[in-house]
């Protein structure tokens, strides 16, 4: 009987041993940038606004600079946008993740053939 084998890699950045940034938070930033709204980004990800807000607050507080700027509602309505730091972190993470994925793909057949 043939077994289904998969090689999976997920990249996370920890600060002081606690998860800080990874694929989920990157996706949240992508959707904030796309929608201009934290609530719309959260909804698209299938998560509560409260959880998304907590993730943004954590990134803004523990990062070197804030990643997301939130705008309160009013006559124009609220909104959210990535700061320059947020854009740079997201772009660098995506580039790094693409390189990691490419490297894993190059070695997957060889590695799984040994298992």
Q: Structural domains in the chain?
A: 20-91 (1.10.10.10)
Closest by CA position to 15, among listed 62, 55, 85: 62
pLDDT, residue 76, reads 64
pTM above 0.75, yes or no: yes
Residue partners of 40: CB distance under 8 A and separation at least 6: 31
Per-residue pLDDT of the chain (115 residues; tens, 9 = 90+): 678 999 889 899 999 999 999 999 999 999 999 999 999 999 999 999 999 999 999 999 999 999 999 988 765 667 999 999 999 999 999 999 999 999 999 999 999 999 9
CB-count exposure of residue 87 (10 Å: 0-12, 13-18, 19+) = middle
């Amino acid at each position: 009987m043939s077994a289904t084998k998969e090689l999976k890699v997920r990249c996370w950045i920890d600060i002081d041993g606690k998860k800080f940034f990874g694929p989920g938070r990157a996706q949240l930033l992508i959707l904030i940038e796309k929608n201009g709204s934290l609530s719309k980004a959260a909804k698209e990800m299938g998560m509560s606004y409260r959880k998304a807000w907590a993730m943004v607050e954590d990134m803004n507080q523990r990062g070197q600079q804030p990643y997301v700027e939130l705008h309160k509602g009013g006559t124009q309505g609220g909104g959210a946008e990535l700061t320059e730091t947020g854009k740079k972190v997201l772009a660098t993470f995506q580039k790094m993740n693409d390189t990691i994925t490419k490297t894993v793909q190059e070695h997957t057949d060889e590695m799984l053939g040994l298992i």
